[in-house]
Amino acid sequence: MKRQRLGSIRIIAFAITTGLLLAGCTGLVFDKAPPKLYRLTPKSTFDPNMKKVEWQLTIETPMAEAGINTSRIAVLRNPLSLDYYEGVTWVDTAPRLVQTLLVESFENSRKIIGVGRQSVNLRTDYALITDLREFQSELVTNGSPIAHVRINAKLVRFPDRVIVATMSADEKVPAAGGNLENVIQAFDKALGRALKKIVNWGLTVVPPERQRRRR
């Protein structure tokens, strides 16, 4: 009888201890606020007189070094130190965010037959290959942060995989103030200018004799 009572007490103690541990773990998970997400916008205004191209384009995910190949928002305090804003992230990793906005910006031009992400199922005439070289806020002495975006681009012709043109879009936009909201707005302007340059370049760099799609 005593053994049964002792066994019951042990079971109850175990259940109480387990419940307390789970409650503690739950508190650790949910007491911390999730990071605030930020997104950027594609370009939507282009020269209406720009000629429509007769080919399809795929856009590969940009290459980027590990420091900016992340969803965290990078800040450069000095040339040798890369840090991140606390408690905030982009909605996706920086390369995938830029890829998405490139696709949307080309679509918004309404001057191309088809554009999409790199896919084995999508037939393409040209591919846009990019390197995301700079994508960070840079702190300067006695001034507001500067959003710095630099994208190097190559246009590759298929099926022979020949590079037909290269360019670099390098944009710096000072934030209106030191708070994060102003920094994000500066990022949006800097990336927007880079996107517009790449779209305008991509849609005009192919020679007229190469405009016709393969049958």
Q: For residue range 182-215, list pLDDT tens digits in order.
A: 999 999 999 999 999 999 999 999 876 555 554 4
Other residues' Cβ atoms within 10 Å of the Cβ of residue 130: 24
Local confidence band at 180 (pLDDT 50, 70, 90 cut-offs): very high
pLDDT of 154 above 90: yes
pLDDT of 59 above 70: yes
Mean pLDDT of the residues in the chain:
86
* The pLDDT of residue 212: 53
Q: Using alpha carbons, list the distances in angstroms from residue 29 to 22, 23, 32, 118.
A: 11, 10, 6, 37
| Cis peptide bond N-terminal to 145, omega within 30 | no
Q: Which two tokens stand for residue 143?
A: 């001034």
Secondary structure of residue 7 in the 3-state scheme: helix
* The pLDDT of residue 165: 97
- Please, are residues 123 and 114 in contact by the beta-carbon 8 Å criterion? no
Mean pLDDT (whole number) for 46-71 = 95
- First-to-last C-alpha distance (Å) of the chain: 89
pLDDT of 110 above 90: yes
Local confidence band at 142 (pLDDT 50, 70, 90 cut-offs): confident
